[in-house]
A and B are shown apart, each in its own frame.
Chain A
């Protein structure tokens, strides 16, 4: 019965293929991580595509690694914080398209706003830190390190600034996807659910009303049923 979920106070999720509370979909941002494109997938567009799911599953880690590569290699090769951020957000967009908004929510490490503020914080720190050492704003410093596995590594302080840009771009794209994609989808779904609930309630009410009428009619009969509580209160 579809009305059960609002007696228990749980958020109601409607639509085909929704399991009941024993394995209900987690709602909210704190959803567990391991449900990664698992059984219940409702893609943003059209029917489920197994091919897309498999490709997404295979590619997303690689895309994220690529984005980090673009970020750190930007100083010598094409790439940089902006491109890296775009690539990283592409991974999440792919995940959203393949798995729907629940998947997007489950896969986010942080809320988009938290990403944005973290990015602003890192960017501002990287910009302002040189002031403490008597250098101008956004001055760059260079460190040459010899690391055990990587060998000679060159670290530029501009990299931290690029990390800030990276995070801000990811945050921006995810806000837009959340607003224009997931939010709109959720609204459509809620409208659908409410419509269904209203119809169900209406049907129930007409049923109740006819019940009441029937009960009243039974009162008028000369021999009331002995177990009728309504008859006792009168």
Chain B
């Protein structure tokens, strides 16, 4: 079983490739493409068995106690996705070798994360376990965050990356809840078992499906969550071509397609998928039609196509499932071709704005043909794979063909798809025209021709789309295998270029004609679009949400963090009194706790010296409270500490007493250091009610501690383990029990405490550094001030007649010292 090995290969290459980039520059991407090419070739060799109904499975235990295993299962749907993720990915990696310059910023990081992403995406599409799927899913979110933020010195890149991460990972969390619900009601977390035996009786199922669909919609940029995808176009073009055409955004579609055979008939799955898919398809296409930036045009086109794929994958009928596989592959090939084309154009001409490009078709004819074929596939022209897929899709929604769809729904959907397809045709034509046509109104400019290896990638991908379109029987087995769960309806559809004179063909001709007309009248279209009222951007919702979180956090912080130490202390004490205090009081009143009896209970003293110590403690305690100056208060309170150490001595605990004396001394000294910075007297002391409240609170807290200690001493129910300690002390090799407990019996606790001490010391050190940084800032301010003064002085000298030798000798001597 090779699949775990392929994952390991991805991981190893992801670790190695950054250093390779440093050695051999962007050619390291060729090495990076090895694991992807390997997995694509491997899955192709397994393809006959997979489409024959024998999925490749593998299983690696991960958290056996929770029943979480890495179950892998490659069926027809996974096969199609692996071909996109690994096959198209490998081509894009090779293209990246020509796209990036060796001097590109942070190229090593980009290469490593890209391989990591490819591995995570491979995991998403091959795993059979909901938890593993979620982990891989979020890995793709995180790595895509890092990839989109590749130009991390630009603010808009960082913002777009954060937006994409918050949207996809936030809804991913909802999806995790949905997964857990689904797993609990289904009794298993294996996707294949859940789809085979869906828990349709459970009332929780609709909620679980809504949550899961939310995550899938966010990932696949469905309206109104589509805003992150155009924003993410700040990524380098190969990254966009890979993440946002072939791989990541298909994750949501994949999940929908994966679950649809089991859950498509459960409300509200079909309604949600159809409504959101169709809306996304139309909105995306409409907005693509008015973009000037070729990459943004493709981004909105991708949004539109993702809507199309979502509704095909989710509707849950045989023909639609067949169409979904065909469109999935077709979109992967044509959209990555177009992205790579934009990359070449941008790389060579330095712009991707339609209004500045002209005459590229004559300069780069091969690329123009490749991109033209891909755009034709996107528009749905024969004999390309896009046409085959679109035919199937139209066929799927012809009213009366599928029993699962009522006639009105099918009619509405068909109208919507035709409308969006007309728009798709128009923006596809606009893309080719915008990128390659000669425009009279634009003046051309010279640019270098792209190298052959550079345009090889888009040509190869475009040719694949053409080849699969001419030979649809290569794709048909995959589609049939995926659609086999639906085959009961008796309507058997196969992917073909020519089905005869069907309604779908008529619609194809119609929408082609309408699309041509729309492109022909593009000025009118622009006018109409400009005259439309601008509807609210979906992004506003995101901003409102983020703003709401910020302001809530601010409110909460402002309420709870007043900055006053007495208030914090008061809250802590009040909480202590309110929870354990009230409980103790009620227990005392109701007699739940046994009070210490006279033998073990209160005694006046064990040793008359205790009276003296108690007097010292009492006097110092009262004096501390009454002292108005800080320094004497500190001395008195440390005297109180020494008094308590005396109590320990009298009770035969020399270790405790020693430690307490030492700690008390050190604390006093350190507080003296701090007191240098503080005023000599306590500034404000509470008066009136505040004072009474403070006194009451402190008295109550003290009484609570005293009473609870007293009660606790008698509340023991089992023998103390410390009795055993004395027996084992000899074995541990010492006679000082306290020390043996610290260094042997409970040495792990001591170990933890030393770590706390070390952390505290590091924290103190960072406070010092913080102080330093402040001073550096101050110094630069001073520097500016001085520089101004010096130019002023120099000016004064120049204004005067004689250059003063002292002034010139002085200022260079001043400079290095201040700046150094």
Binding site for B on A (CB under 8 A): 6-7, 9, 44-45, 74-83, 86-87, 89-90, 93, 97, 112-113, 116, 119-120, 123, 127, 137-138, 140, 142, 154, 156, 158, 161-162, 164-165, 168-169, 171-173, 175-181, 183-184, 187, 190, 194, 201, 204-205, 208-209, 211-213, 215-216, 219, 228-231, 233-234
Contact = CB atoms under 8 A, between A and B. Distances in A.
B266 interface: no
Q: What are the nearest 9 A-B pairs in CB distance? A: A230-B802, A75-B734, A86-B662, A212-B800, A219-B801, A216-B800, A172-B761, A158-B743, A78-B654
B807 interface: yes
A74 B797 CA distance: 74
B804 A215 contact: yes
A140 B733 contact: yes
A172 B775 contact: no
B671 to A, nearest CB: 9
A230 to B, nearest CB: 3
Given A74-B743, A80-B655, A208 B806 contact: yes
A209 B793 contact: yes
B765 A179 contact: yes
Contacts of A78: 654-655, 658, 736, 738-739
Nearest to B774: A187
B743 A87 contact: no
27 contacts: A9-B816, A75-B743, A76-B735, A76-B736, A79-B658, A79-B739, A80-B738, A83-B662, A89-B666, A93-B669, A113-B762, A116-B758, A116-B762, A123-B751, A140-B733, A140-B743, A164-B754, A165-B754, A176-B670, A179-B765, A183-B771, A184-B673, A187-B771, A201-B814, A209-B796, A216-B800, A216-B801
Contact of B803 (A77, A179, A230): A230
B711 to A, nearest CB: 30
A183 B755 CA distance: 24
A83 B659 contact: yes
B805 to A, nearest CB: 8
Nearest to A120: B758
Given A83-B655, A140-B733, A229-B802, 5 more contacts: A6-B817, A87-B662, A158-B744, A175-B762, A177-B673
Q: Is the interface of B mostly helix, strand, loop or mixed?
A: helix
Contacts of B782: 194
Interface of B: 654-655, 658-659, 662-663, 665-666, 669-670, 672-674, 676-677, 732-736, 738-740, 742-744, 747-748, 750-751, 754-755, 757-758, 760-762, 764-765, 767-768, 771, 775, 782, 789, 793, 796-797, 800-804, 806-807, 810, 813-814, 816-817
B754 A119 contact: yes
A6 B813 contact: yes
B108 to A, nearest CB: 31
A178 B733 CA distance: 38
Given A158-B744, A172-B760, A215-B804, A180 B674 contact: yes
Nearest to A212: B800
Contacts of A176: 670, 761, 764
Given A74-B736, A142-B733, A208-B806, A213 B800 contact: yes
A211 B806 contact: yes
Contacts of B807: 208, 212
A60 B765 CA distance: 26
- Of the listed residues A45, A204, A208, the one surrounded by the most CB atoms of chain B closer than 10 A to its CB is A208
B761 A175 contact: yes
B329 to A, nearest CB: 54
B661 to A, nearest CB: 9
A140 B744 contact: yes
